[in-house]
Every structure is written in structure tokens, then in C-alpha cells.
Amino acid sequence: MELGAAQAREQVAEAARRLYERRLVVATSGNVSVRIGDGGLLAVTPSGVPYARMVASDVALVRLVDGAQVDGAWTPTSELPLHRAIYTARPDVMAVVHTHSLYATMLGITGRPLKPVHYAYGLLGDPVRTAPYVRYGTSALANEAVAGLGANGAVLLQNHGAVTVGADLEGAFERAEILEWLAALQMGAEAFGPSLVLSDAQMAEARVALAGYGPERRSE
Ligand SMILES: [Zn+2]
């Protein structure tokens, strides 16, 4: 179903408040966007408005093609180039969530890759990569993030944070939570010493099972 602009702004504001409540962002860091209707417009979180009290009218509307703002009281996030680059490179992506969540960011600081320590890794990537450090808000960072993301659902940003994407905002949000949980799981397990990871064959098997992941109506 295609999203209208009003509905998209509501979704973005609600996701922003929920990201804050679940401690995936702090203060005004991180950002969220969704692609509207036929894809010509994006609803994107504004720069500098605290996530805890974000409302729909705070959310900026911008054109995908050139980033021009068409509505909203506040200027869009400084990471707008990142969001636009992902939508341009990935027609399948309808929502982008960028966080500075604690464990995903810590993992990107260690320089160690996210490993398949649990089958849920299959919901994020094959494999999940870490994009090299580039200053926030630049088109160079956007390019590195797009390259690191590839066809995946998540990418870590070295010494910065993480980006997840989805076919809708719920999907992108859920991936942000799964990524944070997996990073915490891996770092916690590795604190005890060398840990076990799933083999390529085990992950391939898990990916087949996960292909139908999501809510399923009981057949009558
Ligand atoms: Zn950031």
C-alpha cells in the first residue's frame, strides 16, 4: 500500500519517539526516513529536534531527486545525503533508520565485523559489512554506506553508528533492534573468550527458513 505524506510523517515521528524510548538513539542523534507514494518525496526527521517529543509536523518533506525541502518547519537531518543515496541505489528500500545505538557503534569502533553468532544474522546481511570512517553528513559517507550496504538490510559505520533499511518502516526499525541485540550478544559472548559462530552451511539453511519471516495469518 502506498503511503501518503501525512501518514508518512506520523510514522516517522512515532518511530523517532520509539527509537528514543528503546535507547537506540540519544538526544537528537540518529535519523529516520520513509519514501512516499511513487517515491518522489521522502519524509525525514529534522535536524536538532529532540527525539523524545517529535511530532508529525516536525518531520520534513524533501524531494528525492535534489533534496529540496517542500514542507516542514525544520531543516532535514544533516544525513539527508545518506538517505537519498540509499533510496536512489535501492528501489526496494522504502524506509531507512540510522542510529548511534550503543553496541552496534561499539562494534564499529573495535573494527571487528558483526559475526553470525545467531541465526537472526540472516535477517541483516550476507555478510553484514562495516563502512570505513568518513565525516558525518557528507556525500562521501553516503557513498561508503551504500557500498557497504549492498543488497543487505544493515551496514555498520566505523566509529559512527549503524544503518538499517526495509520494505517499510517497521521492517527497518526491527532490523535496527536486531542489529543492536546481535552486536551486544557477540560482544558479551566474546568477553568470555573465543566464541562459536554459525558456519556458512548453517547460515544458508537458516536463510531459507527465514525467507518467510514475518506475521503469517493462520489458514482457515
Ligand atoms: Zn549519525
Q: Which of 10, 21, 79, 190 is catalytic?
A: 79
CA 16 vs CA 7, 32, 72: distances in Å: 14, 7, 16
Neighbours of ion ligand 1 (CB under 5 A): 161
Ligand 1 center from residue 160 Cα (angstroms): 6
Q: 204 is written with which cell numbers?
A: 544458508
| Domain residue extents for the chain | 5-210
Ligand 1 center from residue 79 Cα (angstroms): 7
Q: Are 14 and 21 in contact (CB under 8 A)?
A: no
Give the whole-angstrom CA distance, residue 59 versus residue 153: 24
CATH number of the domain located at residue range(s) 5-210 in this protein: 3.40.225.10
pLDDT digits (tens, 9 = 90+) for 177-219: 999 999 999 999 999 999 999 999 999 999 999 987 766 667 6
pLDDT digits (tens, 9 = 90+) for 85-142: 999 999 999 999 999 999 999 999 999 999 999 999 999 999 999 999 999 999 999 9
pTM for this predicted structure: 0.94
Q: 193: which residues sit within 8 A by CB, 6+ positions away?
A: none
Residue 79 falls in the annotated catalytic set: yes
CA neighbor of 153 nearest in space, from 176, 133, 187, 130: 176
